[in-house]
A and B are shown apart, each in its own frame.
Chain A
């Protein structure tokens, strides 16, 4: 079974803090993705990566950065958290050459 894990289920941070969200997959997948999910807006792609040390901007990259130093790990960084970044953050991975994505359980982030 594919397993995608995220470092925290719930996180509370203060405005201006630097926030790290970690995602790890154990199936040797090439591709990894970060989304945020908000009521009425659905899933929105923030960043994705097709290989180690590679990254591509998604639809809403502003205010975020990512790091992929190892194949199994993809980190999302909020450089200076703001209240409008309160959201559910979902990580996903997929094998290279395949379109089906497998999701982690999500991190619910609250920025006060």
Chain B
């Protein structure tokens, strides 16, 4: 079983829809969870960061972590065509000098 699983998509939604992106993981030691957004032919940019379980909201974006189910989600409300990108989840066992483990990314298209 891979450490981090993420559905590659592609996921296509109409403008204004609520988007749900998800990752599952197998290592219960993961405590730090991130979502990155990557536009075509660009480097990933950090979108959301959460520690342990719970929710975090930033504008139209909400990140959820359910450690009991080993499941993390990113919700995008009122999706816009500018949200069209690949979304990568990433996680880490502990703070500091431990490389992140990335999902393979989900490609999202928001159609106007």
Contacts and interface: CB of A to CB of B under 8 A. Distances in A.
Contacts of A97: 95-97
Interface in A41-82: 41-43, 45, 48, 50, 58
A100 B34 contact: yes
A33 B98 CA distance: 11
B45 A42 contact: no
Contacts of A102: 46
Contacts of A108: 41
Contacts of B34: 99-100
Contacts of A58: 99
Given A100-B46, A103-B44, A42 B99 contact: no
Given A90-B44, A100-B46, A103-B45, A40 B97 contact: no
How large, as a class, is the contact surface on chain B?
Answer: 20 to 34
Interface residues of A, number: 25
Given A45-B99, A48-B99, A58-B99, A90 B104 contact: no
A42 B105 CA distance: 7
B32 interface: yes
Interface of A: 4, 31, 33, 40-43, 45, 48, 50, 58, 90, 92, 96-106, 108
